[in-house]
Amino acid sequence: MNPAWDASLRAQPGEFLRRVPGREAFLWPGDAGTAVVIKRVCEQLALRLRSPGAIEYENLRSLRADGIPVPRALGWSARREGPLGLARRSVVAMERIEHAHTLRERLFHASPAERRVLGARLLALVVRLHASGWYHRDLYLQHFVLRGEELVLLDVGRARHEHAPRARWFEKDLAALLHSTPRNVCVRERLRFLLGYLGARGITRRREWLRAILRREGRMAAHTPRAGETRPWEDL
């Protein structure tokens, strides 16, 4: 815990980068006048020992140590509140990644040649992420941004690392990527990406994996997001 971020636990910023019930993101003054990103979670019933802020802070540091491009973690703070201390507010502070577009936006406007280049970069990053034992659990294309030409992965609060992760978590990540792909990216390009992933990971049961990924993507398409959030394909 870092007391330097305690003030952001109850701050009321003039503008939010993102806000849904219980979760908010906003800019906050950092060192040397630079703005940093604060992600704040308000839990009504906090039963877990570790707060969401602490978990995302640790994930950011561990992913960065494993060579995955993510924002630099700056600190976290948490406070119990309410009757019996059952509620909790927590924050994580991280580097602000300056970017003009998310990867999904860039793919939507890209030429076929540029999409191939971006697809190859995405493939290399996802393979490295999974080969390191990490799975993201929310791996939509909106959670990749372009810092120059470098892909940076965001929103890693739900990410997990295991020495022997289950295949179903990798399948879910791939289904999320497929689900959030812009509609103007053709089936052949999507299939090329999935087959490239399976080949790079040395997976031989390709038909079985493809069927599992498509089944998961179908369930995502039928799911109504919580808290009124837009579906992954509604932002373009």
Tell me how far the alpha carbon of residue 194 is from its chain's centroid.
19
pLDDT of residue 164: 86
| pLDDT tens digits along 167-188 | 999 999 999 999 999 999 999 9
Q: How would you class 204 by CB atoms within 10 Å of its CB: exposed for 0-12, middle for 13-18, buried for 19 or more?
A: exposed
Token pair in block for residue 26: 């906003």
pLDDT in tens, 67-99: 999 999 999 999 999 988 999 999 999 999 999
Q: What is the pLDDT of residue 4?
A: 77
Query: How many residues in total does the chain contain?
Result: 236
- Give all domains of the chain, ordered by start, each with its CATH number: 3-94 (3.30.200), 103-228 (1.10.510.10)
CB atoms under 10 Å from CB of 83, counted, come to: 6
Instruction: Give the single-character DSSP code of 72.
Output: P
43 band by pLDDT with thresholds 50, 70 and 90: very high
Give, as one character, the DSSP assignment of residue 100.
S
Does the pLDDT of residue 228 top 80, yes or no?
no
Name every residue whose Cβ is closer than 8 Å to that of residue 24 and which is 6 or more positions away in sequence: 16, 18, 39, 40, 42
pLDDT for the residue numbered 81: 93
For the chain, what is the radius of gyration of the CA atoms? 19
The model carries a pTM of 0.91
